[in-house]
A and B are shown apart, each in its own frame.
Chain A
């Protein structure tokens, strides 16, 4: 299937879902589609990595299958598992059922299997890959190489249509070289103030353009302070919602001082910012 016809078409269609891209995002998304390669989006929290996968699915009318990674995630949760309970019950009911219990109806399908078997266009989001243990990367590498899964009792299942794969990582650790080589890479970072203003305008209907601009510039200033946790796009968007709710038309010092808690979550960051920016 053709996911996107060109980078500029990707810009337009992502824009229609409220997602604002740039040259790097649009080109890598377009290429991931035509080259049928997984796209690894890496960067700090809250810069739109997860949202990108969702936007791709929405823009192309594909299903979204999500594998959320965490420490201790294993094959049984990522790939498939036999329904042990159901199998036992069947054997209790019928002693001769031993040959039947490794059949489709006892299979618990997990996200990776689901995405591979799906007949419909599918975006497979493997979210926060860096949280999984290193072993999981081996599994992903295998599956993302030939898009097939072998279940000993059932045989090999090959994708009829390859899913559009997006992996995300907050870079809390480095993913293996092998996995990175297999993927196209997109580094998502805090946006330029111009782009962030546009994101705020797209995500928060009703916000005045001047306020969006001030928010974006102030967020950039806060990020330059090297805080423990820099404000993300998500927080700028929250900030905009807050100002709208409070009915503030300008982002003056008083307003910033009152609402700083929306963007900075650590007390020490708030203190540091107040000091550096000369807020009372």
Chain B
């Protein structure tokens, strides 16, 4: 057990889960108090001691299943051996007890999962199992209720169970590969980086939905940070009149001091975001962020640009649906003439048309990759714009070592405005926490 414990912790670290020495020891202590034969308790004990961020949970589970595989439930009795019978059986399970799915999944991997992986080489895969059973095509048959709410509810339940079945199949496939080729080999390929480290520039649609959940708390946090005027712990200045008035009750001795409530200054935010294709993943993300910010700040004005810039605030009114807003913005707003990003022209147009948005109370946030199709950086305009506001920051979705390569004019602008590499949710969170906005 000790060896396995050490190997498991090592594998977690290798896949990017930060396990400290002390946490490794906590886990080892925990193992002394639980029934090691109870697999779900063991999983929970490891999770409680080692996994402190929900984003790390998915990768943790994959590794746990590899290091502590469930015992296979031996040969199973099936109602028939041909694929149609097996599909019937699956349909029943999808409608019934999800706990039964695991044993069935293992049997199906055994039956269909092994195929030729190269010349003279067999390996295990999920896709032949899914192809043989094709659970998606069972949905129509399983939907007893048609139309309206009952159908939605039924669909949701079946989809959840199909996903659970697919996960069980994938787990068993990995277990078999690990058995034949060693755990170390599969560890690296099986675990994706956690969501907060995935690159904005390469996100998929599904990942974007996941990120959305991460963004709201960050927007709230940014709003709080930007509205902090006083140093922390400063409870406000003495309210002289109230203190004196109160002292009259105690014979003129100021027993109770009254402090003026801290008056948070209402932050105003102007977001200017790149909406061009070179950053489309990032653009979608920043639009989501803009939308989330809209709900947190008293005054937010948002602008988007490709080669010209237009205000998009109205599409993001509180209560609007964010996906509708993005669609409307791309069809209605005037942000693209020729479709090639031109930061210089954008800054100039912004100054001409929207300079009134910037005041000494404003925080200005520019979001973009500073790739300007070989146009000179327009530093003079940016200098004037940043000179008008309280804070100005630029978030760049490209890795720092690619700044200034090709048509990037990042450092030209970075000389004027603090520019941060912001490629993933984690870096965004770090930006929000570390930026000195209290000034």
| A268-B320 in contact (CB<8A) | yes
| B149-A181 in contact (CB<8A) | no
With A85-B256, A217-B157, A278-B147 in contact, is A31–B48 under 8 Å at CB? yes
Contacts of A185 in B (CB 8 A): 47-49, 51-52
Q: Which of A71, A133, A173 contacts B217 (CB 8 A)?
A: A173
| A172-B149 in contact (CB<8A) | no
Q: Which of B149, B156, B256 contacts A253 (CB 8 A)?
A: B149
Inter-chain CA distance A189–B58, complex, in Å, is 14
Minimum CB–CB distance for B46 against chain A, Å: 10
Contacts of B217 in A (CB 8 A): 171-173
Minimum CB–CB distance for B411 against chain A, Å: 30
Q: Which of B41, B47, B232, B319 contacts A266 (CB 8 A)?
A: B319
Inter-chain CA distance A219–B60, complex, in Å, is 28
Q: Which stretch (A21-29, A54-62, A94-102) binds chain B?
A: A21-29
| A277-B149 in contact (CB<8A) | yes
Cβ of B406 < 8 Å from any Cβ of A? no
Q: Which stretch (A148-156, A220-228, A236-244) binds chain B?
A: A220-228
| B255-A24 in contact (CB<8A) | no
Q: Which of B26, B35, B44, B321 contacts A35 (CB 8 A)?
A: B26
Contacts of A173 in B (CB 8 A): 217, 220-221, 433
Cβ of B43 < 8 Å from any Cβ of A? yes
Within 17-71 of A, Cβ neighbours of B (below 8 Å) are at 23-24, 26-28, 30-31, 34-35, 37, 40, 42, 71
Contacts of A279 in B (CB 8 A): 148-149
Contacts of B275 in A (CB 8 A): none
Closest to A173 in B: B221
| A135-B33 in contact (CB<8A) | no
Contacts of A88 in B (CB 8 A): 253, 255
| B48-A27 in contact (CB<8A) | yes
Number of residues in A with C-beta < 8 Å to the partner? 57
Number of residues in B with C-beta < 8 Å to the partner? 50
Cβ of A198 < 8 Å from any Cβ of B? no
Minimum CB–CB distance for B425 against chain A, Å: 10
Most chain A C-beta atoms within 10 Å of own C-beta, residue among B149, B209, B221, B433: B149
With A185-B51, A226-B209, A226-B212 in contact, is A23–B253 under 8 Å at CB? no
Q: Which of A85, A135, A181, A278 contacts B23 (CB 8 A)?
A: A181
Cβ of B233 < 8 Å from any Cβ of A? yes
Q: Which of B149, B209, B253 contacts A218 (CB 8 A)?
A: B149
| B156-A224 in contact (CB<8A) | yes
| A135-B52 in contact (CB<8A) | no
Inter-chain CA distance A181–B49, complex, in Å, is 8
Minimum CB–CB distance for B394 against chain A, Å: 23
Inter-chain CA distance A85–B160, complex, in Å, is 62
Contacts of A42 in B (CB 8 A): 54
CB pairs A–B below 8 angstroms (14 shown) = A34-B33, A35-B33, A85-B256, A172-B217, A172-B221, A173-B217, A177-B52, A185-B52, A193-B157, A218-B153, A252-B149, A266-B319, A268-B319, A278-B152
Known: A27-B44, A85-B256, A187-B51. 10 other contacts (CB 8 A): A24-B44, A35-B29, A135-B233, A171-B217, A173-B217, A173-B220, A180-B52, A180-B53, A185-B49, A279-B148
